[in-house]
Amino acid sequence: MTTNVVMPQLGESVIEGTVGKWLKQVGDDVKLYEPIIEVITDKVTTEIPAPASGTLLQILVGEGTTVNAGTVVGVIGESQTADGSQQATVASNQSPVSSLQSPVSNLESPSSRNRLTPVVARMMAEHNISSAELAAIQGTGEGGRVSKKDLDAFLKRRAPIAAPEKIQTQAPRQAETVAAPARTIVPPVTDGESEIVPLTTMRRAIAEHMTRSKQTIPHVTSIHEADMTRVLAHMRAQQAEFSKQGVKLTYTAYFAQAAIAAIQATPFVNARYTEQGIVMQRAVNLGIAVALEDGLIVPVIKNAEEKSLLALARGVNDLAARARAKKLAPEEVQGATFTITNYGIFGSLFGTPIIPFGTTAILGVGAIQKRVIVVDDAIAIRPMVYLGLTFDHRLLDASAGDQFMQRFTDFLETYA
């Protein structure tokens, strides 16, 4: 008996995924719910558990391939016997796989062929592949769709880079087709002194989102400073109690509380600019930036305004841990209305973070350091932190941004 490993639908709006890495190879033993495959979408990278125990008999979709949700990507079954009886079982089980894929493959229509995956769209932008060239490529994907493998084969046999005039006339149409600007491609270095490291899916997504934000949103950054004495005292007094409940209390929970209080005082910071008008958002969905080995991800605490300090701390710990373990669901990295990024954990004093596209502001938190300041006309040493608010100048003026920061810093400095 065999069990199909199926590409899951990771979220309501996610209809496909890319096989990032197989965590097991053909012939490896697999336990039920053990991570077996790493799946990448444009929102999140996550590990998919095995639907059954047994042996990984077949890998049907290779690493780097994008397929629709519901596609069979592998087969788990019992170990093959010496007489090959299990091989026959596997062969007989291929008919369900074929029957699942055949209806899609028979949809040889222009609409299905022209529906590009994010990977193919990015490759078109990088290599200046025109719509005419795309139409000439024989697609081997579902519904005749052009796949990454098809584009790789096309690029290997493609003539040298087209003349500058041709690229220039195609660039605007290319940007409209794939929603990405034409890029200058640096040829691979072959002198032995440098190497080309392929971009990961996450790094490409970060690059595209950040570029889109900077090209669309007029950024303004305001730097403020806060005395963390009261917060430190409260954290020391509460750490033991929080630990009893299995929660590690960190500065991030306090910054989240301060952001909620400041947003409630200046709600336009939690709004969103559109050409049709300002979208006022009732819920405060806090995005908390988490650094990973290969990039940055922003899991979201939904309805943060309803949560206590304990609940916020628990949420921060849980999301950060699951982000690093690649256990987040796509919906857990969507819907942020305000973002906090704590680059101070790496020693940075202050910075000018880029606004996540679709929101209005992001707060950057620097390192907390003891500094000499003047308090009531006397010199004092206090734990201080620089806070940088970067906001969309289309929606917020400097006065609104500074009002938000005044409420933010007041909340921290008067914490009780």
**3-state secondary structure (DSSP) of residue 68:** strand
Q: Which amino acid is at 50?
A: A
Select which of 209, 224, 234, 393 is catalytic.
393
User: Does the annotation mark 397 as catalytic?
Assistant: yes
d(CA 210, CA 186): 21
d(CA 362, CA 364): 7
Strand order in the sheet with 66-68: 45-49, 35-40, 16-22, 66-68
Q: Could you give the angle at the alpha carbon of 31 between the alpha carbons of 26 and 36, nearest 5°?
A: 55
The 10 Å Cβ neighbour count of residue 270 is 26
Select which of 28, 152, 294, 397 is catalytic.
397
Buried/exposed code over 230-256 (b: 16+ C-beta within 10 A; e: otherwise): bbbeebeeeeeebeeeebebbbbbbbb
Q: Which amino acid is at 166?
A: K
User: Does the annotation mark 209 as catalytic?
Assistant: no
d(CA 327, CA 348): 28
What is the distance between the terminal CA atoms of the chain, rounded to a whole angstrom?
Answer: 62
User: Could you list the active site residues?
Assistant: 393, 397
